[in-house]
Structure 1
Amino acid sequence: MKKLYHSYFKIIVGSGIFILFQLINSPLLLAQERCAVPKILEEREKKYPELNTENFEKWLAHNKKIISDFSQRQQATVQIPVVFHIIHNGEPVGVGGNLLKSRIDRQLEILNEDFNRLNIDASETLEEFQELATSFEIEFIYAKQSPDGFETNGIVRVPGSQANYSYQERAVLSSESYWPAEDYLNVWVADLAGGSLGWAEFPVSNLAGLDAASNNRLIDGVTIDYVYFGENPDSPSFESKGRTATHEMGHFFGLRHIWGDGGCSIDDFCEDTPSASSSSSGCNLSKTTCGSLDMVQNFMDYTNDACMNIFTFDQKSRVRTVVENSPRRKSLTESKGLEAPPIFNRDLGLAEINSQFNGSCSGNFNPQIIIKNQGLFPIEEFSVQLFIDGILEETLESNETLESGEEKIAYFSLLNFDETGQYSLFYRVNLEGSFEDERLENNQKLEYYQKLEEASLPYEKKFQNNINPWFIRNPDGEETWKMFDVGLGVPFFDNRQNFGEIEQIVSPIFDFTSIDVPELSFIFAQVGDSIPNKISIYASYDCGRTFNDLIFTNTITDISTAYEIDSVFTPKHRLDWDTLNIDLNRLKNEESVCFSIVAENRLSNNFYINEFKVEESTKKNREIEIIRWDDINPLFCDEILEGKLTVKNVGRENINNFKIEIRKQDEIIKEYNLNEGVLVAGQESKIDILIPQPEQNIGEYEIRSITSSLEDEIINTFYLPFENNCFEELPPLRLSLRDNNNDNWFEFNPDKDAGWTYSSNNMAVNSNSSEITKESSEDWLVSPLMDVSNTNYLGLIFDISYRKAFRQAEKFEIFISNNNGRNFNTLIYSKSGDSLATSFGNDVSNQLIWRNEFIDLSPYVFKEKIRLAFKVTHDNGHNLYLKNITFFVGQSPPPPYPNTARPFVIYPNPAKNDLNLHLNLDIAEEGFFQILDMRGKVMLEFTEPKILNQFISFNVSQLADGMYILRLNTKRITASERFIIQK
C-alpha cells in the first residue's frame, strides 16, 4: 500500500482553501464536484510559487516524528480551544441557522469521537484497514476565556450582514465575528452560497521563505454550512452525521484528500492510504482503483457521512507534526483560551464600547460603556473616567453594589463636538475605597469619534497632498490608506499576508437635495491580479455611524487598469488610471449622505485613488445620440447619398418620439419625425436615410438628433462630409497621406475630433485614438474607386502596429462595397483588443512593433468597381498605426522586398527558364520595360499601364546563355539591372 511521492504535484500551503461543495444531483456528480481545491491551489501557486507542495513536504519531513510502533509509544493528548461563531439571519435560537446549543454540543462530541477513534462505527472499518486505524490524541474543547479575558461558553451568536456567504466572501464572513487565530480555532457556521458545504484554511510551515504566510490570520479557521453542521437527518444529498466538520478539520491540520486531488499517480503524502483514481461517493466498499481496494471509509474522501469512520497512522503522524510545529496550530495548544480566566477576589473590567468608530450629524454623542464584576467578591465603590484626546472629561462614581458576574452600563453626559475632526475617547474603570483591583489589564478601552465636515455639491477632491477633510478608519492598526506621490492608496503589496483586512476612508457629508441628477466618479489605478483587491463604496444616512447601503463593488465591475507586475505597482502612465462613473439618482432626495470607500486585502498589489467627484450627471432624462452611420457613402458618383443611421437612447427614460434633421449650413435639407414605437433607455435603432444628390461637388452635412424635454431640446450633432468623387484608379495602388497629399483617399470624421493623420515620425497613418475620449467614436479611411474589370487577382497588404493597453481596446475593421462603391456592407476584416495588438503595455513604447496583414480580394473583382473603407473604433487607448497600405495584382502576398532603395530587383540571377521581377516604386505610374543583350539589341519589350509593387515572372527560356540588361523607363525614373541566363 505504500505510495510513490510525486514532487511535481502542486499545492499551495499557507492559504490553501479547501471547499466541500453540496450538490443535490446524482452521487457521481457529488463526488466529482464536491471540492474545488485543485483549481484554487493551482491559481494560488502560480501567484506565489514559493508556497508549493514540495517546500511544505520538505518542511514536514524534516519535522516529522518517526513513530515506528504506535501501540508501544503514546503521545500526550493535546487540547484545542474552539469558538463557534453562529452567523444567523436574525432568527431566534433554534430556528434556521441560529442553532441550538445541544446541536453544537453534539458536533463537538463528534469531532472528539472521530479524531480519537471513539466513534461508534469504528467497528465497521473494513478488516483490510483495521490495523491502520488510530487515534490522534487531540481533544477539542469549548474556549473557556474570551480574548478580553472574560469567561465564555465558546459560542458567539451574531446576525450576519448578508443572507449567505460564498467562498469568495469568506473574509466578509470572518469579519462578522473573529477571535485571534493564534489562540482560538475559529469555526464559522452560516448559510453558505454556491453549493458549498464548507471550507478550511490549510496550515503553513515556518520554513524560510514561507514564514510571511503565517501572518494570514484573519480568515484562518473552518467554515461549515449550518445544514451540514452536527447531526441533521433532514440534510439533502446525504444524512449529516457531523462528518463535514471532521473532513474540514482534517484539512485545517494538513491532511490532503485521500485520492491526492489527481488520480493514481498523485500522492496524498500518507504512505498507508491506498492510491485512488478519484474521489468516492455513496458507500461502495468494494471500489477498487489503481490496482488496490480504495479506502472509501476514510474521513478525507467524499463518501456519505454514514460511511466514514477511519483516520490512519500516517495521517496521525502528519497531523501531530503540524500541531507541534506549524504556526497558529502549535500556539493553539498553548492558548489562554484553554484555561478559565483567572479568578480574583476583586476584578473590575470594561466589557464593551459603543463601536471603535462613531459619528453623528449634529456633533452630539452619548458615550457609554459596560462594566463587569469579574471577581468573586461584590464591588461596592468604583469610578469610570472618560478622557477626550487625553484630557479628563468626566468621572462617574458609583456606590451601588455590583455583585460577582454582574454587569452595569455607565452613561456619560452628552458630548457636543463643534469642530470637524477626530477625537479619541479613552475609558478607564477604577476600584475605589480601601481595596485594589487585582487585575488592571482589562480596565481600559479606546474608541474614536469623527465629526465629519459638511461639503457642498458639486464636490471634487483631488488626493494629491493630503486626505483632509476625509477620515481614515483603521480598526486593526495594520496597513491602511496613506498618501503617495501619485495619490491616496493602500500598500497592499507589502502586506499581502493580511488576507481579508479591511481599510476604510470616510467622506464629508453631502446634501443631495441641492442637485437634480447626481453622479459619483472616481479615478483609480490597480493592476490586474488574478484575485484583485475588493473595492466597495457604501453610503451612510446617519453621518457615518453605519454604512449599510452598497453603492458599488468591483465583484461586478472589474476595475483593474494595468498589467500584473512582480513588484510594487505605482501608476506612471495615463492608461494606468481610469475613471468610473456611478449613477446616484436614487440619492437625490437625501439630505445627509456620506460615503465610505472600503478596500479589502485580497493579497494583490497596491490600490490608488487620485480623484473623487460628486456632480450633476451628464446623462439626461431624455436624449437621443447618433452613434454611427452604417453603409457609409461619403463619396458619391452621380447618385443620392444613402445609408442607415444608428441612434441610441442614452437617457434615463423611454422615448417614443424624436426628430432627425439633415442640414446644409443653416438650411434644413431633410427632416425625419420618428414617433412609431418606444425606444427603451439604452436601446439602439437603425434609421434609413436618403439625401438627394448634393448640388456641390464637395461639402458637409450636419445631422442633428433632437429630443424634446420639459425644459428644452437636447440636440446632438453628427457630421457627414461628402465629395462627388467618380475618379477611378487602376490597381496597383498605395496609400501614403504624407505631406497632406491623400492620394485620392478620403477621411470621414463624423465627430470632428482628432481623426486619422499622417505621422511623419513613423511614416504611417495614425488613428489618434489616445486623444479621442468620446465612447465608441469612429473614424474612416475610404479608398478611391478602383476599376478591377481587367484584374483577375487582387490582394491587399498593409502593416499595422497597435499597443494594447490593459483596460482599453481599439477595434479595426475593413469593409468593401458590393455595389461599385455606393455603400459598404461587406465586412472582410475585423480585429480588436488582444487579437489586434502587436505589443502590450500601458506605457507609450518608443519603438512600434509591426505586423504584416494580407487579404485576398480576388473574390470581389467580378464587381468591376470596388471601394474599401478602413474603420477604427476608439477606446481612448493607444494609437493605431497603418503603413504600406497597398493593393497589388496577385492572389498571394509577394515575398518581402529586399532592403534596397532600387526601384526593382530581379532574381534568380543567374536565371534558367524563369526570371522574377519585383517592383517597389513610391508612386504608381506607367512603365516601359526592355530586355537588351550586351550589344544593345532589344530582345523583348512591353508596357505596363500602371506599375507600383508588382511581382512579375518572365519566361526567358528562349534567350541564349549570356548576360542581359533589364531596363525600366517611367516619366520620373530610368533604371536598369544586369542578369545572366545560364542553362
Structure 2
Amino acid sequence: MKKLHHSNLIFFIRSGVFILISLLSINIKAQERCAVPQLLEERENRKPELSTEKFEKWIEDKKNLQSPFSQRTQAVTVEIPVVFHIIHNGEPVGTGGNLLKSRIDRQLEILNEDFNRLNSDSSETLDDFKSIAASFEIEFVYARQDPDGQETNGIVRIPGSQSTYSYQERTILSAESYWPAEDYLNIWVADLAGGSLGWAEFPVSNLAGLDEASNNRLIDGVSLDYVYFGENPDSPTFESKGRTATHEMGHFFGLRHIWGDGGCSVDDFCDDTPEASSSSTGCNLSKTTCGSLDMVQNFMDYTNDECMNVFTLDQKTRVRTVVENSPRRLSLTESRGLENPPVFNRDLGLTELNSRFTGSCSGNFNPQTTIKNQGMLPIGEYSVQMFIDGILEETIEFNDTLQSGQEKTVYFSLLNFEETGQYSIFYRVNLTNGFEDERMENNQKLEYYQKLAEGTLPYEKKFQNNIAPWFIRNIDEEETWTLYDNAIGIPFYENRQNFGQKEEIISPIFDFTTIEVPELSFVFAQAEDSIPNRVSIYASYDCGRTFNDLVFSNSITDLSTAYEVDSIFSPEFRLDWDTVKIDLNRLKDEESVCFNIVAENRLSNNFYISEFNVKESDKKNKEIEIIRWEDINPLFCDEGFEGILTIKNVGRENISNYKIQVLNNNELTKEYIINDEVLVSGQETQVEIIIPQPEQNIGEYEIRVITNNTEEEVINTFYLPFQNNCFEELPPLRLSLRENDNDNWFEFNPDKDQGWVFSTDNRAVNSNSSNITKESSEDWLISPLLDVSNTNYLGLIFDLSYRKPFRQAEKFEIYLSDDNGKNFNSLIYSKSGDSLATSFGNDVPNQLIWRNEFVDLSPYVFKEKIRLAFKVTHDNGQNIYLKNITFFVGQSPPPPYPNTRKPFVIYPNPAKNDLNLHLNLEIAEEGFFQVLDMTGKVMLEFTEPKILNQFISFNVSQLAEGMYILRLNTKRITATERFMIQK
C-alpha cells in the first residue's frame, strides 16, 4: 500500500455525530472547519526537512535495522513520565475543568490499559483482527520530580488566561503551564474551542540536519478537552471512556489515522491496517470499504469510545521505532522525571519568599521566607540570614528541632526604605554546629523590593531619554524592557525561543481622587505576526504588592500597527504608531493606583511604547455629536433644504432631552426640541431636518446639537454650505484640477477640516485624510449638474491612488442624484481598505501608484439631469488621490490614448468607409471639423457642441481615393491631420 501524507502535527476533532477532520483532508467541508491542512502545507514549504517522505523513510530505515522478532515480541517495557496541566477557569477542584484527581488517575489507567492491551473490552476485538492485536509495552507514570528537583504528584492546576482555546491558540495554551518536553510528556487539559476534542504534536526524526526540525519544543505534547477526558458518562455525542487521550497519544508517538486522511489510495504506513475510504463514526462493525472490512475498532479511527479496543502489530512497530529513536521521545524514557527526587541526610532549603518582586507606598516591608527540612535526619541548629543590597542586615538563629519534611516560616524585622528605588533582598539558610548541608543549590533566594515614585495627575510620560521613575520587573532575568529611540520596547524578535516569558514595567503611584473622569492612554507600535505578543495592563491598589485588576488586554484590541517584516521591526513612520484609550472611570475613588504593563513573548516581533498618559477624559457625561447628514443637498435650484441628520450619544449617560438649532449668519432659522425619547449612551438616531429656501444664493448654515451637561451646555457644530447652483453642463466633462478653477465643482466640508485639496505635485485632488483626526469624518466633492437628455451612453472614468496603511482604512464612495442634487440616494461606487488600495504600506510613497476606474452611468441618462457626489470617510490614514475625473460619452471605458500631445488621432488610416476620431483635449469646448482635399477644397464639415475626449465616427465613403486633411477649430486651438482614402 503506497500512499502519501503531509504532516508534523496531528489533530483529532469530533463534532456532533459525524466526525470528519484530517491532517490533509480532501473533504471540502472539513477544510472549512479547520485550517490545519493549510497550516501544515505552509510549515512544509518553510521547512522541507519536515516532509512526510523524509520522515517515513527515516522510520523505514530504523525498522529495517531491527529484526521482526524484536519488533513484535521482545520489546522492553519503557516508562514515560507524564505531567497533567489542568488549565481551568478558577473553579474549585471537582467543578468544571478543574477535574478531580480520581478522574485524572483513571485516565492514566486507561492509557496504560489501552497501550498494553489490558483493556477489559479487548475480548470484543473482531476475530478478523485478533491475531494482529498488539501490546506496546509502554507504561505512563506520573512524573516523580518536577524540573526543580522537588517531589511532585504529576498534576499542575493553573487558572487559564482564556476561557477556551482553539488549536490555532495551542501556543497560548502550552504557555499557561509547561515543563521541558525533553523530560516530561506534557498533557494539557482545558476547555477546547471549535469542536476540537484534542490534538497532539507529531514526532520528528533525527536524520542528519534535522536537529532543529521540530522548531518548537514549547508546544510538544498532547492537548485534550476536559469534557472528553477520562470517563464521563455526561459527555455529548458519545460517552467518553478516555479513548480521546489514547487516540491523541497514538499521534504523539507517530501513528496516523487508519484511513490515511485521504481515501483508498492514501496510506497510514501500517501494512496490517486495512485500507479505508474515510473515517468511521458510531460503531458499524460490518463496515466495508476499499474491498475489505474496515478496522473500526482501531484506536486511530473516529468511532465512539466504547467501540475502540485495538492497536496492531505494525502500529506497535512504528511506535516503538519512534520511542527508541525520535530525539524527544527517546529522551522521555531516560528522563529524570522518572526518578524520585534526590534524598539527603541533611538538606535544609528555602522554599518560598514574599514574591520575586514586591512594592509599597510607605517604604515599610515585612521580609519573610519559608524553610523546609528536605533531608532524612532532623536538624536542630541552623540560621537564616538576610542581606540588603549585598550587606548583611539580620541573622536569626534557631536551636529547635526541625523534623524531616517539616516547614517553618521565618519573619525578619520590619524594614523601612525611605528613598524611592529598587532594593535587593537576599536570604540564605545555613546549618550550624559543624554540620554540612549536603545540597547547597536550594539554600538561597533573592527578591526585590521597589518603593514606587508618586506621580501627579494629569500625568504624561514620554519614554525619550529614560525609563525612570518607572521600575522594570525582570523575573526571568533575560530580555526585558529596553530604552530605544524615543520609546521603550522589548527585543522579542531576537529572543523567539523564550516563548511565554513575561516582561513587566511598573508605573508611579497615582491618587485618582484628584481627577473627575480618569482616562489612560498609551502610544504603541508592533508589526503584524501570526500570533501577536500578549500585552496586558493590570492595576494595583496596594502600592505594587499585587496586581489583580486587569484593565486592558490585547485579546480584545489588536495591537499590530504595521505589516509583517522578516527582520527586526523599528517604527519609522507616523502610521507605525497608534493609541489606545482606556476608560478608568471606575477607579476615580481610588487613592493609590499604579499600573503594571505586562508583555508576553509569543515569538512575534518587537513591541514598543512611546507614551503613557493618565488624564481627564474628553468624554463628557452628556454629549451628542453630529455624525453625518443623510440625503445631503448643499446645492439647490429654487427649493429648500431637507434631509436626515444622524446624531449619536457619545456621553457616558443616557440623554432624554436636547435641541437642534439651524443658524444662518448667526441668526436662528429653525429649532427642534427633542424630549420624547431616551437616547442611550452609544446609540445613534436620526432627525428629519427641513430648512426653508435661503434668501441669499451662497452661504453657510450652522447646525448645532445642544445638550445640558451638569451646569453647562455642550454644543457640537456641523456646517452646511449652500449654493443656488442650477448651471448645467453637457457631457463630456473633465475636472480640470487647476487651482482656483474647479469647473463648477462644489466641495462640502461639514467639519471645516480642509477636506479635499488640490495637490500641485501630483496634479490631482487628495482627501487630506492624513491630517483629519476626527473619527469617521466625511468630505464631499460634488459635480456640476449634467444635462444627459441627449446622451444615450455615459461613463465615468477617473484615476485613483491610495496606499493602504496596516491599521487605518479610508473609504471612498460615489453617489448619484437625479433631482438636481437635492438628494443623493443612489450609491454607484464603494470601496474601502484593501479593495480601495493601489499599494500597501505605512510610509508615504515617493511615487503614487494609479488605477483607472470606470463606472457605467448609462442606466441613469433617462433622468435628463444628474449630479455625482464623491465622498471620502477619513480614518487618519493615507490620502486618497483622484485625477482625470471625466464624464465620458460611451458605455465602456475608452482605450488608452496614444502617447502623443496631439489633441486628436484618426484611424484607420488609410480608411475606406468610416473614419474614427479619438479626442483628448484639456478643456471641453465646441469643435468645428472640416475635411479638405489637397487643393484646400472643403469636402465635408460638421460641428460638435462639446468635445473633450470622446470618439467621433463619420462616413467618408462618398470621398474619392486620395489624400485628405482633417482640420479641427475651437476657440483655443487649430489642429490638422492627414489621412488617406483607399477603396
Shorter-chain TM-score range: over 0.9
1:39 paired residue number: 35
Contact 1:212–1:497, Cα closer than 8 Å, also in 2: no
- The DSSP-based 3-state class of the residue aligned with 2:835 is helix
1:875 aligns with 2:894: no
**1:913-938, Cα deviation, whole Å (9 max, x unpaired):** 11101111111111111111111111
**1:713-757, Cα deviation, whole Å (9 max, x unpaired):** 111111122222222222211101313211111111111112112
**Residue 331 of structure 1: CA displacement?**
2.7
1:552 paired residue number: 552
1:49 aligns with 2:45: yes
**Residue 192 of structure 1: CA displacement?**
4.7
- The DSSP-based 3-state class of the residue aligned with 1:276 is coil
After TM superposition, the structure 1 = structure 2 runs for residues 385-424 of structure 1, keeping only pairs within 5 Å, are 385-424=385-424
In the alignment, residue 390 of structure 2 is paired with which amino acid?
G
Tell me the distance in 2 between the aligned counterparts of 1:650 and 1:48.
Answer: 50
**Residue 160 of structure 1: CA displacement?**
5.8
Tell me the distance in 2 between the aligned counterparts of 1:352 and 1:270.
Answer: 51
1:638 paired residue number: 638
Contact 2:540–2:548, Cα closer than 8 Å, also in 1: yes
Moved more, 810-819 or 447-456: 447-456
Contact 1:214–1:327, Cα closer than 8 Å, also in 2: no
Tell me the distance in 2 between the aligned counterparts of 1:411 and 1:438.
Answer: 25
1:666 paired residue number: 666
**Residue 391 of structure 1: CA displacement?**
2.0
- The DSSP-based 3-state class of the residue aligned with 1:550 is strand
2:515 paired residue number: 515
1:18 aligns with 2:11: yes
Tell me the distance in 2 between the aligned counterparts of 1:179 and 1:595.
Answer: 30
**Residue 48 of structure 1: CA displacement?**
7.3
After TM superposition, the structure 1 = structure 2 runs for residues 87-106 of structure 1, keeping only pairs within 5 Å, are 87=87, 97-106=97-106
Query: CA 1:656–1:94 in 2, change beyond 3 Å: closer, same or farther?
Result: closer
- The DSSP-based 3-state class of the residue aligned with 1:454 is coil
Tell me the distance in 2 between the aligned counterparts of 1:891 and 1:654.
Answer: 52
Tell me the distance in 2 between the aligned counterparts of 1:787 and 1:96.
Answer: 72
Contact 1:56–1:205, Cα closer than 8 Å, also in 2: no
**1:577-608, Cα deviation, whole Å (9 max, x unpaired):** 21122222222222222222222333332222
Query: CA 1:414–1:191 in 2, change beyond 3 Å: closer, same or farther?
Result: farther
Tell me the distance in 2 between the aligned counterparts of 1:742 and 1:280.
Answer: 71
- The DSSP-based 3-state class of the residue aligned with 1:330 is helix
Contact 1:370–1:408, Cα closer than 8 Å, also in 2: yes
- The DSSP-based 3-state class of the residue aligned with 1:329 is helix
Tell me the distance in 2 between the aligned counterparts of 1:34 and 1:402.
Answer: 62
After TM superposition, the structure 1 = structure 2 runs for residues 707-856 of structure 1, keeping only pairs within 5 Å, are 707-856=707-856
Query: CA 1:10–1:578 in 2, change beyond 3 Å: closer, same or farther?
Result: farther
Tell me the distance in 2 between the aligned counterparts of 1:555 and 1:45.
Answer: 27
Moved more, 389-398 or 214-223: 214-223
Tell me the distance in 1 between the aligned counterparts of 2:224 and 2:260.
Answer: 22
Moved more, 945-954 or 848-857: 848-857
Contact 1:20–1:35, Cα closer than 8 Å, also in 2: no
Tell me the distance in 2 between the aligned counterparts of 1:815 and 1:101.
Answer: 66
In the alignment, residue 46 of structure 1 is paired with which amino acid?
E
Tell me the distance in 2 between the aligned counterparts of 1:368 and 1:17.
Answer: 48
1:955 aligns with 2:951: no
Tell me the distance in 2 between the aligned counterparts of 1:486 and 1:333.
Answer: 51
1:499 paired residue number: 499
Tell me the distance in 1 between the aligned counterparts of 2:123 and 2:792.
Answer: 87
In the alignment, residue 416 of structure 1 is paired with which amino acid?
N
1:127 paired residue number: 127
1:312 paired residue number: 312
After TM superposition, the structure 1 = structure 2 runs for residues 884-963 of structure 1, keeping only pairs within 5 Å, are 884-963=884-963
Tell me the distance in 2 between the aligned counterparts of 1:715 and 1:673.
Answer: 14
Q: Which runs of 5+ in 1 are unaligned?
A: none
Tell me the distance in 2 between the aligned counterparts of 1:253 and 1:627.
Answer: 60
**Residue 436 of structure 1: CA displacement?**
1.1
1:651 paired residue number: 651
1:480 paired residue number: 480
Contact 2:737–2:763, Cα closer than 8 Å, also in 1: no
Contact 1:795–1:888, Cα closer than 8 Å, also in 2: yes
Query: CA 1:555–1:712 in 2, change beyond 3 Å: closer, same or farther?
Result: same
In the alignment, residue 26 of structure 1 is paired with which amino acid?
V
Tell me the distance in 2 between the aligned counterparts of 1:937 and 1:37.
Answer: 78
- The DSSP-based 3-state class of the residue aligned with 1:867 is strand
Tell me the distance in 2 between the aligned counterparts of 1:303 and 1:562.
Answer: 46
Moved more, 771-780 or 545-554: 545-554
Tell me the percent identity: 77
**1:891-918, Cα deviation, whole Å (9 max, x unpaired):** 2222221111111110000011111011
Give the TM-score taking structure 1 as reference length. 0.93
In the alignment, residue 116 of structure 1 is paired with which amino acid?
N
2:375 paired residue number: 375
Q: Which runs of 5+ in 2 are unaligned?
A: none
In the alignment, residue 255 of structure 1 is paired with which amino acid?
L
Query: CA 1:767–1:206 in 2, change beyond 3 Å: closer, same or farther?
Result: farther
In the alignment, residue 62 of structure 1 is paired with which amino acid?
W
After TM superposition, the structure 1 = structure 2 runs for residues 338-737 of structure 1, keeping only pairs within 5 Å, are 338-485=338-485, 487-737=487-737
- The DSSP-based 3-state class of the residue aligned with 1:929 is strand
- The DSSP-based 3-state class of the residue aligned with 1:739 is coil
Tell me the distance in 1 between the aligned counterparts of 2:435 and 2:422.
Answer: 37
**Residue 77 of structure 1: CA displacement?**
2.7
Tell me the distance in 1 between the aligned counterparts of 2:668 and 2:90.
Answer: 66
**Residue 619 of structure 1: CA displacement?**
1.2
Contact 2:665–2:701, Cα closer than 8 Å, also in 1: yes
Query: CA 1:604–1:161 in 2, change beyond 3 Å: closer, same or farther?
Result: closer
Query: CA 1:856–1:406 in 2, change beyond 3 Å: closer, same or farther?
Result: same
Contact 1:495–1:603, Cα closer than 8 Å, also in 2: yes
Query: CA 1:843–1:122 in 2, change beyond 3 Å: closer, same or farther?
Result: same
Tell me the distance in 1 between the aligned counterparts of 2:649 and 2:713.
Answer: 15
**Residue 221 of structure 1: CA displacement?**
3.0
Query: CA 1:294–1:355 in 2, change beyond 3 Å: closer, same or farther?
Result: farther
Moved more, 264-273 or 517-526: 264-273
Give the TM-score taking structure 2 as reference length. 0.93
In the alignment, residue 574 of structure 2 is paired with which amino acid?
R
Tell me the distance in 1 between the aligned counterparts of 2:258 and 2:49.
Answer: 16
In the alignment, residue 951 of structure 2 is paired with which amino acid?
F
Tell me the distance in 1 between the aligned counterparts of 2:705 and 2:697.
Answer: 25
Tell me the distance in 2 between the aligned counterparts of 1:275 and 1:483.
Answer: 61
**Residue 213 of structure 1: CA displacement?**
6.4
Contact 2:908–2:916, Cα closer than 8 Å, also in 1: yes
Query: CA 1:799–1:234 in 2, change beyond 3 Å: closer, same or farther?
Result: closer
Query: CA 1:455–1:351 in 2, change beyond 3 Å: closer, same or farther?
Result: same
2:258 paired residue number: 258
Contact 2:13–2:21, Cα closer than 8 Å, also in 1: no
- The DSSP-based 3-state class of the residue aligned with 1:319 is helix
Contact 2:17–2:282, Cα closer than 8 Å, also in 1: no
Contact 2:13–2:19, Cα closer than 8 Å, also in 1: no
1:62 paired residue number: 58
Tell me the distance in 2 between the aligned counterparts of 1:17 and 1:577.
Answer: 39
Tell me the distance in 1 between the aligned counterparts of 2:129 and 2:477.
Answer: 51
2:2 paired residue number: 3
- The DSSP-based 3-state class of the residue aligned with 2:51 is helix
**Residue 337 of structure 1: CA displacement?**
1.9
In the alignment, residue 783 of structure 2 is paired with which amino acid?
S
**Residue 268 of structure 1: CA displacement?**
3.5
In the alignment, residue 619 of structure 1 is paired with which amino acid?
K
Tell me the distance in 1 between the aligned counterparts of 2:903 and 2:236.
Answer: 81
**Residue 203 of structure 1: CA displacement?**
3.4
Query: CA 1:829–1:262 in 2, change beyond 3 Å: closer, same or farther?
Result: same
1:288 paired residue number: 288
Moved more, 496-505 or 941-950: 496-505
CA-based RMSD of the aligned residues comes to 2.8
